Chains A and B, each alone.
Chain A
Amino acid sequence: MSKINDSIEKKVERHERRTAFALTIPSISHYTIFFIIPLIALFIYSFCHNVPGGGIETTISLENYKLFLGDLVYLGILLRSIKLGLVVAILAIFVGYPFAYFMSISSERTKSLCYILVLMPLFTSVVVRTYGWMIILGRTGILNSFLIKLGLIDMPLKLMYNFTGVAIALLEVLLPYMILSIHSVLENIDQTLELAAQNLGASKLKSFFLITVPLSIPGIATGFIIVFSLTVAAFVTPTLIGGPGFRLISTLIYEKALATLNWPLGAAISFIFLIVMIIFITTINRLTTSERWGTIK
């Protein structure tokens, strides 16, 4: 008797599994055609030989990888990109968290207003926003003119074509992602918890740092990963504000693959970069995942 029931159960399960799988076919096919297959192609190219002038010889070797990993300048660029990612992401936490917290404790009306303020920049082209920063950061730009007029500095600060300028601009451009990420987690934290902590003797500040902050770590981590990834992959802003002398991994890949048409080298650099990023993100994810904060691996 039970054997017959088993096979009926199994048939139903199989059918349900197939239906569920069928629902994923559209996105999996899109993903495969436009992402996985090109990625595989790129992976193959990275082992190929570049013919100067724009050709590819399919002689498989590790020459491209060796070229990149053996060159200290290139490694320096990789390091600089990572450093930029870390600086911008960490600054985004300290600038974005207070605003996100303010949003979570305000009235509905103020909250809606803040949402608009945070989302509006995302609807503006990043090119336009970056040009805006060029106007502010230049030697004769708004910021320097303002500071000189106030008598706070004598000589204009060098805020363009260097790390500082790029970091400032990227921070502003990517801040909304951090704010939204933290805010969405804060909204799900029961406000009674801070009250309970205060009732037990914690001051308002203590209850914030002992209760709210730890519970918002998943939001901070997500925001960090998003801002970090978008920073190191950024192209427009570093190109315009950093200029040709300030090279990052993203601009390097562009330079190699599209300017000098050295696809194999471009591909190799991309994959080295991809692996570094995967290691980074997986590590951060592992460090901030815990049953305590409601996230489970």
Chain B
Amino acid sequence: MLGSIKLKKITKKYKSVIAVNNLDLEVKKGELFCLLGPSGCGKTTTLRMIAGFVYPTIGEIYIGNKNITTLPPYKRDIGMVFQDYALFPHMTVLENVAFGLKMRKVSKEKIKEKVDKYLRIVGLENLKNRLPRHLSGGQQQRVALVRALIIEPNILLCDEPLSNLDALLRKQMRLEIRRIQKEFGITTVFVTHDQEEALTIADRIGVMKDGTMMQCGSDEEIYNFPKNRFVADFIGISNFFTGEILTESNGNSFMIVDKIKIKLGVIAKENIPKNKEAEIIVRPEKIGITKNLNSPQSGEDNLFSGKVININRLGSIIECKVKIEDCQDVIIHYQEKNQTRSFEENESVFIMWKPEDCRFIS
């Protein structure tokens, strides 16, 4: 139980601004939970409330069974990694990392032993006596991480620790953090605005907007079953279709969008909303594109004709925008090796997707 976090009805008001609005959150022991959202969504405020730098206006915070809502930060046994690392500039790497242990009155020998061990885990044992200003961004980041982990806290909090690193280093460091987190089994709350980061390392993700939790779940749940427009739009790319629902006597359901009829599959059928107008999304990698219909098509699939508007390479994936005949544009993602040839602008094509890949969003 120790090491789980519970936030009950947490609200934080600054004069007339509501930074966090009636938030309920549970983080399980040992999991890496990502708080994801755009700037100003309240994720950092929430993190600071868990850390104790900010006190909630309403609500309670528990670590395990202990109510820590009003405990000052230095009594909370939480390790924190800040966005700009907050390394003490007047102390060496060794002194920075040893600081938490010094505050806990650990013996000098024990401190030396532990510092050596932890610095070796992140490969910085040769930089013990350097000052932070003589370290690269990645090195500073690792020192900040180790400084928080060495006190063996119940909880690790990370406030966008990778934002100041270049893209390649970010990718390396986030896997490193994930590896260490799993090795120590430490409950971690990781704040980020980068959805790729969250999808890569998190056990569960909480997507926030304007102080409210929009959806909370595993990366699969959030990606494949977004509950609302915001989550569908924020995570990955979505093709949105709005239209009337039509249910035929044989049980098949369709959505009428402009002049086309979209078949809705089993998974989507179960979530058919009561009102006749609804919105669905289809992920771009679920849509296939082809010039001719020689290859066998399942009669069950949605099949429409259209014209290529533009086509771009995004690394290993090709992104293609197609205007469906008598309907709207869709974005398609595919990997080149799956197609026999690439497509050109204004080319007439056929696009298809399975009915089950339609997802309702409320």
Q: Which residues of chain A from 167 to 212 have any CB-CB distance to chain B below 8 Å in the complex?
A: 190, 192-193, 195-204, 206, 211
**Contact A190 to B74, CB < 8 A, known contacts A201-B103, A294-B89:** no
Whether, in the assembled complex, B80 has its beta carbon less than 8 Å from a beta carbon of chain A, the answer is yes
A199 to B, closest residue via Cβ:
B80
Chain B interface size, as a band, is 20 to 34
Task: Find chain A residues with CB under 8 A from B103 CB.
Answer: 200-202, 206
| Nearest CB of A to B224, in Å | 37
Task: Find chain B residues with CB under 8 A from A204 CB.
Answer: 72, 74
How far apart sit A243 and B347, CA to CA, in the bound complex (Å)? 100
| Nearest CB of B to A211, in Å | 6
Task: Find chain B residues with CB under 8 A from A206 CB.
Answer: 103
* B90 pairs with A292, CB closer than 8 A: yes
Whether, in the assembled complex, B175 has its beta carbon less than 8 Å from a beta carbon of chain A, the answer is no
**Contact A200 to B131, CB < 8 A, known contacts A190-B84, A192-B86:** no
How far apart sit A206 and B100, CA to CA, in the bound complex (Å)? 12
* A292 pairs with B82, CB closer than 8 A: no
How far apart sit A199 and B96, CA to CA, in the bound complex (Å)? 13
* B51 pairs with A211, CB closer than 8 A: no
**Contact A192 to B84, CB < 8 A, known contacts A200-B100, A200-B147, A215-B90:** yes
Contact string against A for B residues 67-108, beta-carbon threshold 8 Å, 1 for contact and 0 otherwise: 000001110101110101010111100000001100110000
Most buried by B among A193, A201, A214: A201
| Nearest CB of B to A231, in Å | 29
* A293 pairs with B151, CB closer than 8 A: no
How far apart sit A3 and B100, CA to CA, in the bound complex (Å)? 58
* B88 pairs with A195, CB closer than 8 A: no
A191 to B, closest residue via Cβ:
B86
Q: Which residues of chain A from 207 to 225 have any CB-CB distance to chain B below 8 Å in the complex?
A: 211, 214-215
Q: Which residues of chain B from 143 to 194 have any CB-CB distance to chain A below 8 Å in the complex?
A: 147-148, 151
A202 to B, closest residue via Cβ:
B103
* A291 pairs with B82, CB closer than 8 A: no
* B73 pairs with A211, CB closer than 8 A: no
**Contact A293 to B74, CB < 8 A, known contacts A195-B53, A196-B80, A196-B82:** no
How far apart sit A70 and B351, CA to CA, in the bound complex (Å)? 105
* B90 pairs with A214, CB closer than 8 A: yes
B86 partner, pick from A190, A292, A294, beta carbons under 8 A: A190
A207 to B, closest residue via Cβ:
B74
* B90 pairs with A293, CB closer than 8 A: yes
Task: Find chain B residues with CB under 8 A from A195 CB.
Answer: 53, 73, 82, 86
| Nearest CB of B to A233, in Å | 32
* A202 pairs with B82, CB closer than 8 A: no
A202 partner, pick from B74, B86, B90, beta carbons under 8 A: B74
| Nearest CB of B to A176, in Å | 27
Task: Find chain B residues with CB under 8 A from A192 CB.
Answer: 82, 84, 86
Most buried by A among B82, B104, B133, B148: B82
How far apart sit A199 and B75, CA to CA, in the bound complex (Å)? 8
Q: Which residues of chain B from 23 to 59 have any CB-CB distance to chain A below 8 Å in the complex?
A: 51-53
B74 partner, pick from A193, A201, A291, beta carbons under 8 A: A201
B99 partner, pick from A197, A203, A215, A292, beta carbons under 8 A: A197
Contact string against B for A residues 109-137, beta-carbon threshold 8 Å, 1 for contact and 0 otherwise: 00000000000000000000000000000
| Nearest CB of A to B356, in Å | 47
**Contact A196 to B74, CB < 8 A, known contacts A201-B100, A201-B103, A202-B103:** no
How far apart sit A193 and B90, CA to CA, in the bound complex (Å)? 11
* B100 pairs with A291, CB closer than 8 A: no
* B86 pairs with A200, CB closer than 8 A: no
Task: Find chain B residues with CB under 8 A from A291 CB.
Answer: 131
How far apart sit A200 and B80, CA to CA, in the bound complex (Å)? 8
Task: Find chain B residues with CB under 8 A from A199 CB.
Answer: 51-53, 73-74, 76, 78-80, 148
| Nearest CB of B to A193, in Å | 5
| Nearest CB of B to A190, in Å | 7
Task: Find chain A residues with CB under 8 A from B74 CB.
Answer: 198-204
| Nearest CB of A to B80, in Å | 5
A290 to B, closest residue via Cβ:
B90
Task: Find chain A residues with CB under 8 A from B80 CB.
Answer: 196, 199
B88 partner, pick from A196, A201, A203, beta carbons under 8 A: A196
* B84 pairs with A292, CB closer than 8 A: no
* A198 pairs with B86, CB closer than 8 A: no
How far apart sit A201 and B131, CA to CA, in the bound complex (Å)? 22
Chain A positions within 8 Å of B, measured between CB atoms, are 190, 192-193, 195-204, 206, 211, 214-215, 291-294
Of the A-B pairs whose beta carbons lie under 8 Å apart in the complex, a sample of 26, sorted by A's number, is A192-B82, A193-B86, A193-B88, A196-B82, A197-B88, A198-B53, A198-B73, A198-B74, A199-B51, A199-B53, A199-B74, A199-B76, A199-B148, A200-B79, A200-B99, A200-B151, A201-B100, A202-B103, A203-B74, A204-B72, A204-B74, A206-B103, A211-B88, A291-B131, A292-B91, A293-B90
By Cβ-Cβ distance, the 8 closest A-B pairs, closest first, are: A201-B103, A200-B100, A196-B86, A292-B90, A192-B86, A198-B73, A199-B80, A198-B74
